[in-house]
A = this chain, B = another copy of it.
Amino acid sequence: MSKKGIVLLSGGLDSATTAAIAINRGYTLSAMTFMYDQRHKVEVSFAEKLAAFFKVEQHIKVNIPGEIFRSALTPASGISVPKNRDVDAEEIPETYVPARNILFLSYALAFAESMGAEGIFIGANAVDYSGYPDCRPEFFDAFKKMADAGTKAGVEGRGINIYTPLMTLKKHEIIKTGVSLGLDYSLTHSCYDPFEDGSSCGNCDSCILRKRGFSEAGVPDPTRYRVK
């Protein structure tokens, strides 16, 4: 019998690749997607397409009140999305969302323990998002320790694993991995600040990293950018 896994599926390139890797490792997946009044809520419709593509067992969509997050990604915060930033700079950008991965992983942990999943898959990456504290290996190590101390599964020695298969990959390596696993990247969305018609801005951090990744991978980028 295959192991059950939970994937955090945002609709982006990284989480889609993570799901493809988990399935390739033999997991039967359920997915969780979060709506938090993000500017790029169009990503949720991509998460739905991906959930169908991956034939997940369950797709749980969770509403989080956006007012709890002060970030450039939540419009009510009144902070603009940085454009044409040096994405390789070692700083925490304004697009950091306080405790977002902590909250998303906590949801996944509750669901994983409730349904008997063996592990949680998250597309965190320490190469392209070195500025985000909640994308670093030391954070995931600490989360696992906390989860083992605070859950029944943990104290009984059946602790739920946290898998970050993209952690040390560059974007072009992520894309090549996904292509090799048959992933269709036209089902993914990356832009932090999309136009109303869903097309991508081309110059937020996420667009810059995506474009560079497809270029370096030598794979055609299926994204509609309005500004190039």
Residues of A within 8 A of B (CB): 60, 62-65, 67-71, 92, 96-103, 105-107, 109-111, 113-115, 133-134, 136, 138-139, 141-143, 145-155
Point out the residues of chain B lying under 8 angstroms from A68, CB to CB. 60, 107, 110-111, 114
Cβ–Cβ contact B70 & A98, under 8 A:
no
A138-B149 contact in complex given A60-B65, A109-B102, C-beta closer than 8 Å: yes
Point out the residues of chain B lying under 8 angstroms from A101, CB to CB. 150
Cβ–Cβ contact B102 & A146, under 8 A:
yes
- The complex places the Cα of A182 from the Cα of B40 at a distance, in Å, of 47
* Sampled A-B contacts (28; CB under 8 Å): A60-B65, A60-B67, A60-B68, A62-B64, A62-B65, A68-B111, A68-B114, A70-B115, A92-B155, A97-B110, A98-B111, A98-B113, A98-B151, A98-B153, A99-B113, A99-B147, A99-B151, A100-B110, A102-B147, A102-B151, A103-B106, A133-B149, A133-B150, A133-B151, A134-B150, A142-B150, A143-B146, A143-B150
